[in-house]
Amino acid sequence: MAGTGTAAPIDARHKGPKGAPGSLAAYWAMILPVVVFYLLFLAWPYLALLAMSLYRFNSTTLYTPTFTLENYISVLGDGFYISLLGSTVLLGLGVTLATLLLGYPLAMAIVRARPRMKAFLLIVSLSPLLVNLVVRTYAWLVLLGDKGIINAWLMSLGAIAEPLPINNNFVAVSLGLVHVTLPLMIISLVGIMERIDPSLLEAAESLGAGPWRILSRVHFQLCLPGVGTGSLLVFCSAISAFVTPRLLGGNRFSTISTVIYEKFMFSLNWPLGATLVFLLLAINFAVIAIHGRLFREH
Amino acid sequence: MFDRVVRLGALLTVLFILGPLVVIIGASFTTTPFVAFPPQGFTLDWYRQLMGKPDFLRSFLDSVLLGVATTAGAALVGIPAAIGLQHSGVRGRAALRSFVLAPLTLPTIVTGVALLQFYYAIDLDAPLAGLLAGHMLVTIPFYVRTVGAALISLDPSLQEAAESLGAGVLRTHLRVTLPAIAPSIFAATTFVFITSFDQVTISVFLSSPDLMPLPIRIYNYIEFAVDPMVAAISTVLILLSFAIVAVMQRLLGLDRAFIGGGN
């Protein structure tokens, strides 16, 4: 395409976007740094972590480099880790359901709103993403703590005499995680609702369906791909989150992530921690695979 | 009835989102020695106390330094990669692209511990370099994705024209491509800086007492104490993020900024 006709010596070197071999080499040179960087700081550390999960724990030298599957066998055969797995998955499901219930009406309101109101609601919905994770979690710590605001209110009203134990449990961690992950759900829902053809809803209405019926039989069905994407994002973030469960769960509620942190930073059982890492990754990939199967045709 | 329920549900969600942030900002002005909302009285004492904490101030500066270094490093590696991956002659582009975007799918805590034991194994004794590499790892994908998206919508005839006029690959991209996608680069840069400045999960594994970014300083502090001083520093951080977004809104328009942000 380029340089037809007037074949000046200069433009003979570059023949359009497909380019001469020399220019292709230049494009490879642009990609090379990122590949080297990723091999060094992503691929190598992950492979080393995989090897670590196969090592044997040693209390004096951290680990003995002998390959064995005993960490995996002991994790999968231990009631503590099985129930840890169960409560982590349950947490993920609870948070996903809650973000869906909270996010759905707000997403509907955003899609229906006039431009100014829409901009305002979008900023509000996304604002948690701009606030530091530690700060957001601190806010819940302040609300839910033993000397926290909710307990102080209830005690000053005389409703309770002793602080309610609303901190360091499943509910506290769920509330914090819902607050953290809600924007992901809202973005996915708004994205799909914007694409719904209003004539489909009008057709249902003219056929005599009431608003609730339209919501469950038409609107929600049309939103399913967005619900799927949002749920995937929220679930994976919730089960992999560490800061929020750590601060709001304290010593009384653990997830796989908080135990990984504990194994790497305090009890220094790195082989076991690495094994839990691959358990966590396995759940993540399983959920991604399930999502792929369910929403393949969309 | 139906519309009312939807509106009420939306309102409740808005309150749920904003409530905790409002409580924090309000509580930072309380005169009580504990966090109270609504605040009792009005004082700026907690902000004054914050100024007298040299470790918080140093952590703030460390975070800024780390954020700037991360932004520069991620841009230098990520933007050329995005341009290179756009070129049709590059084989295995799709696979390379997924490889480069992988840190977005991998749980950050896993990347954190992977780097922790990797640095231990290679005996790396450079906290700043270690944190920098970790932060770059999770921000390079933003550049690749945002710049990649901008390049797709760019008219290819621009580059062809430049090349047919005899500009080399480097010159074409420096003088033609980059200026054309400058708004996207600017949006990605802002987002990358905020991401690095706010990064907690990777930093928690890689910080040391000598180099502790601000979020980790706050994290360590609130593990033991929940006093209004943290509300004060949180308020500063909340206002800072909103200021950055407001500036972006003026310069770029918000929708563009958020699209640029990749969400």
- The one-letter amino acid at B180: A
Mark yes or no for CB contact B134/A41 under 8 Å: yes
pTM of the predicted structure, to 2 decimals:
0.87
**What φ, ψ does residue A57 adopt, rounded to 5°?**
-65, 140
Q: Most confidently modeled of A198-212, B93-107, B238-252?
A: B93-107
In which band, very low, low, confident or very high, does the pLDDT at B112 lie, cut at 50, 70 and 90? Answer: very high
> What pLDDT digit, counting tens, does each position of A129-146 carry?
878 899 889 889 888 887
**Cβ of B240 under 8 Å from any chain A Cβ?**
no
The token duo for B106 is 């991998």
Task: Say whether B86 sits in a helix, a strand or coil.
Answer: helix
Residue B116 confidence (pLDDT) above 70? yes
Return d(Cα A13, Cα B168) in angstroms, integer. Answer: 9
pLDDT of residue A180: 92
Which of B98, B164, B203 should we substitute to test contact with A (largest number of A Cβ atoms within 10 Å)?
Answer: B164
- The one-letter amino acid at A82: I
- Peptide bond between residue B38 and the one before it cis (omega within 30 degrees of 0): yes
pLDDT of residue B253: 65
Residue A5 confidence (pLDDT) above 70? no
First to last CA, chain A: 38
Residue A207 confidence (pLDDT) above 50? yes
Which domains, from first to last, does chain A contain?
78-294 (1.10.3720.10)
- Per the document, the length of chain B is 263
Return d(Cα B88, Cα B67) in angstroms, integer. Answer: 33
Task: Say whether A67 sits in a helix, a strand or coil.
Answer: coil
Domain spanning B53-261, CATH class? mainly alpha
Q: Where are the domains of chain B?
A: 1-43, 53-261
Please calculate the CA angle A54-B115-B55 and round it to the nearest 5 degrees.
135
Of B21, B160, B198, the CB nearest to A2: B160
Residue B12 confidence (pLDDT) above 70? yes
- Residue A250: CB atoms within 10 A of its CB come to 17
The token duo for B239 is 């206002």
ipTM: 0.87
- The one-letter amino acid at B183: P
pLDDT of residue A8: 41
Residue A231 confidence (pLDDT) above 80? yes
pLDDT of residue B74: 97
Per-residue pLDDT, averaged over A157-168, amounts to: 80
Give the gap in angstroms from C-alpha A78 to the nearest C-alpha of chain B: 22
Return d(Cα B241, Cα B235) in angstroms, integer. Answer: 10
Return d(Cα A31, Cα A155) in angstroms, integer. Answer: 62
Return d(Cα A266, Cα A277) in angstroms, integer. Answer: 16
Mark yes or no for CB contact A141/B222 under 8 Å: yes
- Residue A248: CB atoms within 10 A of its CB come to 25
Note whether B154 and B177 are within 8 A (CB): yes
Per-residue pLDDT, averaged over A2-25, amounts to: 49
pLDDT of residue A101: 95
pLDDT of residue B31: 85
Higher pLDDT, B219 or B247: B219
Return d(Cα A238, Cα A245) in angstroms, integer. Answer: 9
Of A14, A105, A128, the CB nearest to B6: A105
pLDDT of residue B254: 54
